[in-house]
Structure 1
Amino acid sequence: MIIDAGELALLLLAGVGAGLVGATAGLASLVSYPALLAAGMPPVVANMTNTVAMLGTTAGAAAGARPELSGQWRRLLPLCLITTAGGGCGGLVLLLTPPGAFTVVVPWLIGGASVVLLAGPRLRRMAERSKNPETAAPEGIGPAAGAAAFLVGVYGGYFGAAAGVLMLALLTTVWTQPLARTNAAKNIATGTANLIAAAVFAFTGRVLWPAALAVCVGSVAGSWLGSVIVRYLPATPLRIAIAIGGLVLAVVLAREAFAG
Structure 2
Amino acid sequence: MNLLDAAAILVAGIAAGGINTVVGSGSLITFPTMLALGFPPVVANVSNNIGLVPGSVTGAYGYREELKGQKPRLLRLGSASLIGALVGGALLLGLPSGAFDVIVPVLIALSLVLVVVQPRLQRWLLARRENHHPHGGPWLWVGVLLAGVYGGYFGAAQGIVLIGLLGIALDDELQRVNAAKNVLAAIVNGSAAVLFIGMWLLSDTRISWLAVLLVAIGATIGGLIGARVGRRIPPMALRAFIVLVGVVALYTLLF
1:105-127 alpha-carbon deviations (Å, 9 max, x no partner): 11111111011111012122223
CA distance in 1, matches of 2:179, 2:171: 14
Q: What is the distance in 2 between the residues matched to 1:106 and 1:248?
A: 13
Alignment root-mean-square deviation, CA? 1.6
Normalising by structure 1, report the TM-score.
0.90
- Partner in structure 1 of residue 106 of structure 2: 108
Q: Compared with structure 1, are the counterparts of its residues 5 and 241 closer, same or farther at alpha carbon in structure 2 (3 Å cutoff)?
A: closer
Q: Secondary structure of the equivalent of 1:54? A: helix
Identity between Structure 1 and Structure 2 (%):
37
Query: Partner of 1:105: helix, strand, or coil?
Result: helix
**Secondary structure of 1:66's match?**
coil
Partner of 1:157: 152
Mapping of 1:1-260 within 5 angstroms? 3-133=1-131, 136-137=133-134, 140-205=135-200, 206-255=206-255
Report the residue type matching 1:183 in the other structure: N
1:103–1:189 Cα change, 3 Å: same
* Alpha-carbon displacement from aligned partner over 1:41-71 (angstroms, at most 9, x marks no partner): 1000100001101102212202221212222
> Measured at CA, do residues 31 and 149 of structure 1 come closer, stay the same or move farther in structure 2, by a change above 3 Å?
same
> Which residue of structure 2 aligns with residue 258 of structure 1?
none
Encode CA deviations 1:5-50: one digit per residue, 9 max, x unaligned. 3322221111101111111121110011112222321000100001
Deviation of 1:132 after TM superposition, in Å, equals 4.5
Write the distance in 1 (CA, Å) between the matches of 2:63 and 2:209: 28
Question: Contact (CA 8 Å) 2:32, 2:245: kept in 1 or not?
Answer: no
How many positions carry a matched residue from both structures?
250
Say whether the 8 Å CA contact 1:24–1:235 is kept in structure 2.
no
> 1: CA distance between counterparts of 2:130 and 2:81?
25
The answer to whether the 8 A contact 2:82-2:188 is kept is yes
Pairwise CA distance, 1:247: 2.8
Shift in CA distance, 20/149, structure 1 to aligned 2, threshold 3 Å: same
Distance in 2, Cα, partners of 1:39 & 1:216: 18
TM-score (normalizing by structure 2)? 0.92
- Distance, in Å, in 1 between the alignment partners of 2:24 and 2:99 is 25
Change (3 A) 1:131 1:63: closer
Quick one: distance in 1 between partners of 2:227 and 2:58?
8
Question: Are the equivalent residues in 2 in contact too, given 1:114–1:244 (CA < 8 A)?
Answer: no
**2:203 equivalent in structure 1:** none
Distance 1:96 1:216 in 2: 25
TM-fit CA distance, 1:203: 2.5
